[in-house]
Amino acid sequence: MNFKDHFIHLFRYNDWATKESVLSIKKLNNDPSDKIISIMSHVVAAQQLWYYRVVKTEFPVKPWQIYTLDDCISKSVEITSKWITLLEESDDAGLETRVSYVNTQGKQFENSIKDIVIHIINHSSYHRAQVALYVRDAGDEPALTDYIVYARSVV
């Protein structure tokens, strides 16, 4: 499998894991805190922000944009589709393309699309782990979003 196909696969996993995390929040016996909704929204908004940086379009979202839980699912599906389309139109050499951007603190950086994709997947996993801790602390069972769980289900 080449990088492009591997990254497409990872974006599908990432979307699945995001949906599973949202569903675990929705199953809570108590209303979720604003903090946990903020974290879940951030997972999706960050993927949007990075996409707009790569395609060099002004991004209409903030990194800590707040969405409803249902919006987190629908926006995850939407941004995953955009990332997959971008990747399908690329090749492994294209993934080495450097993207210049300004971060949220106003600092200029440059990274390859490949590095940005890896960051997005890791960043999402990091924040979904925070969601899992919150769900467990609330007395409920967090979603199993480990990659291997996904891999078993798509084989």
Residue 155 in this model has a pLDDT that exceeds 80? no
* 102, 108 contact by CB (below 8 A): yes
Task: Look at residues 151, 68, 84, 66 and name the one whose alpha carbon lies nearest to residue 120.
Answer: 84
What CATH code would you report for 3-154? 1.20.120.450
Residue 151 in this model has a pLDDT that exceeds 80? yes
For 99-147, the pLDDT digits (tens) are 999 998 999 999 999 999 999 999 999 999 999 999 999 999 999 999 9
**pLDDT at position 124:** 98
Q: How crowded is residue 120: how many other Cβ atoms within 10 Å of its Cβ?
A: 23
Identify the band that residue 154 occupies on the pLDDT scale cut at 50, 70 and 90.
confident
